[in-house]
Each structure stands twice: as C-alpha cells, then as structure tokens.
Amino acid sequence: MPLKKATLLFNEDIYEKLREKSLTDNVSIGELVREAVSVYYGIRTTEEKLASLNKLSSMKLPVGSPELIEQQILDGQDMERF
C-alpha cells in the first residue's frame, strides 16, 4: 500500500525517546509512529484481521454454540463461570 507523507512535530523529550526506541528495535521512527497509530485507533489491514481471526478460531476454548450462548443470556445465566 502506498504511503502518504505527514509532518509531525514532537517536543525534544518525546523525540529522543522515539529515537532511542527506533535504534533499540532497529526500525524507523516513522514505523514506530505508524504502528502506534494503528494500535491506538484499532486500524488493521484485512490481512491482519484475517490472521487474528485464524488465531482465535484455532484456540480450543470452552465455548458453546451461538444458539446456546444466546439462550444462556436470555435465561440470565451467570456467564462469568464459563
């Protein structure tokens, strides 16, 4: 996906922390900022969403069918124990 340019101004303390983090993680400051914005605002690509869905669906969780869960909610059952 093509990137769009934006100019951001940081105070010296924040910029220095970003610079140190970028050196430690061996990534650009721009990459740190892009990732932070994506995480903060919940912006994910289709591929990232599919990867998350696949990860969740591969988990062996003690979850009933949607119909059973709906009925338990309607019956007012305590869902905390599940």
Domain ranges of the chain: 12-81
**pLDDT above 60 for 82:** no
Query: Rounded to whole angstroms, what are the CA distances from 45 to 27, 48, 63, 65, 76?
Result: 20, 5, 27, 28, 37
Q: How far apart are CA 44 and CA 30, in angstroms?
A: 17
**pLDDT above 80 for 77:** no
> Cβ contacts of residue 8 below 8 Å, gap of 6+?
33
Provide the pLDDT for residue 63. Answer: 77
Q: What is the pLDDT of residues 17-71, one digit of tens each?
A: 999 999 999 999 999 999 999 989 988 888 888 998 899 888 887 778 888 888 8
CA 60 to chain centre: 21
Could you count the other beta carbons within 10 Å of the beta carbon of residue 66?
Answer: 8
| pLDDT band at residue 78 under the 50/70/90 scheme | low
**pLDDT above 80 for 76:** yes
